[in-house]
Amino acid sequence: MRFDKRIVLLVLAALAVSALCVRGCKAKFGSSHEVPINIHDALGKERVMPLVIVGSGPAGLSAAIYGVWGNIPTLVVHGPKPGGLLMETSLVENWPGHKAILGADIIKNLQNHVKSLGVKFLNGTVNKIQFLEDTIVGVNFDQWPYKLTTEQGVVIYAMSVIISTGANPKLLEVPGEHEYWSRGVTACAVCDAPFFKGKDVVVVGAGDSAAEEAMQLAQYAKNITILGRKEKLRAAASMQARLKEYPSISVQYNVEVKKIVGDEKGVTSIELYNNKTNQTSVMPINGVFLAIGHVPNSGLFKNHVATDENGYIETKGRSQATSLPGVFAAGDVEDPTYRQAGVAAGHGIQAALDAVSFLNHIGYSPAFAAQLDAHLYKVPAPAHSVPNVGAEEYKATVEKSEGLVGAIFSSLPEYEQGDNNQESLLPDSDLIMVAQQFDDKISFIRVNSAENKTLAHKVHIEDEPCLVVYNQGKFVARYAGQMTREELAHLVQHLVEPASKA
Contact string (CB under 6 A) for ligand NDP, positions 202-221, x = contact: --xxxxxxx-x---------
Taking each helix axis from N to C terminus, what angle separates 58-69 and 341-362, rounded to the nearest 10 degrees?
40
CA distance 166 to 180: 22
Is residue 129 classed as helix, strand or coil in its secondary structure? strand
Smallest distance, ligand NDP to C-beta of residue 277, A: 17
Question: Which one of 24, 194, 266, 293 is in contact with ligand NDP (CB under 6 A)?
Answer: 293
Smallest distance, ligand NDP to C-beta of residue 227, A: 7
On the question of a cis peptide bond just before residue 73, with omega within 30 degrees of 0, the verdict is no
Smallest distance, ligand NDP to C-beta of residue 217, A: 14
Q: Which residues are registered as beta bridge partners of 146?
A: 158
Closer residue to ligand NDP, CB minimum distance, 111 or 209: 209
Smallest distance, ligand NDP to C-beta of residue 174, A: 9
Q: Interface residues for ligand NDP in 229-258 (CB under 6 A)?
A: 229-230, 234
Find the part of the chain contacting ligand NDP (CB under 6 A) among 91-99, 198-206, 321-329, 357-365. 198-206
Q: Is the dihedral of CA 65, 69, 70, 73 positive or negative?
A: positive
Smallest distance, ligand NDP to C-beta of residue 239, A: 7
CA distance 396 to 392: 6
b/e string for 372-398 if b means 16 or more Cβ within 10 A?
Answer: beeebbebeeeeeebebbeeeebeebb
Closer residue to ligand NDP, CB minimum distance, 158 or 226: 226
The answer to whether residue 172 forms part of the interface with ligand NDP (CB under 6 A) is: yes
The per-type count for the chain, helices as H runs and strands as E runs, is 12, 27
Q: Give the residue nearest to ligand NDP (CB).
A: 207
Find the part of the chain contacting ligand NDP (CB under 6 A) among 36-44, 86-94, 201-209, 444-452. 201-209
In degrees and rounded to multiples of 5, residue 485 shows phi and psi of -60, -40
Sheet with 404-410: strands ordered across: 442-448, 404-410, 466-471, 474-480
The answer to whether residue 403 forms part of the interface with ligand NDP (CB under 6 A) is: no
Smallest distance, ligand NDP to C-beta of residue 91, A: 23
Question: Which one of 194, 336, 342, 403 is in contact with ligand NDP (CB under 6 A)?
Answer: 336
Smallest distance, ligand NDP to C-beta of residue 238, A: 9
In degrees and rounded to multiples of 5, residue 239 shows phi and psi of -65, -45
Q: Which helix (H) or strand (E) holds 357?
A: helix 341-362
The answer to whether residue 259 forms part of the interface with ligand NDP (CB under 6 A) is: no
DSSP state of 115: H
- Dmax (CA) of the chain: 91
The answer to whether residue 166 forms part of the interface with ligand NDP (CB under 6 A) is: no
Count the site residues for ligand NDP by CB under 6 A: 17
Smallest distance, ligand NDP to C-beta of residue 118, A: 37
Smallest distance, ligand NDP to C-beta of residue 54, A: 24
Closer residue to ligand NDP, CB minimum distance, 131 or 312: 312
CA distance 408 to 388: 9
Closer residue to ligand NDP, CB minimum distance, 4 or 173: 173
Closer residue to ligand NDP, CB minimum distance, 62 or 307: 307
CA distance 93 to 106: 11
Find the part of the chain contacting ligand NDP (CB under 6 A) among 61-69, 132-140, 158-166, 226-234. 226-234
Closer residue to ligand NDP, CB minimum distance, 178 or 474: 178
The answer to whether residue 177 forms part of the interface with ligand NDP (CB under 6 A) is: no
Q: Are 206 and 235 in contact (CB under 8 A)?
A: yes
Burial class (CB in 10 A: 0-12, 13-18, 19+), 439: exposed
Contact positions vs ligand NDP (CB under 6 A): 170, 172, 204-210, 212, 229-230, 234, 291-293, 336
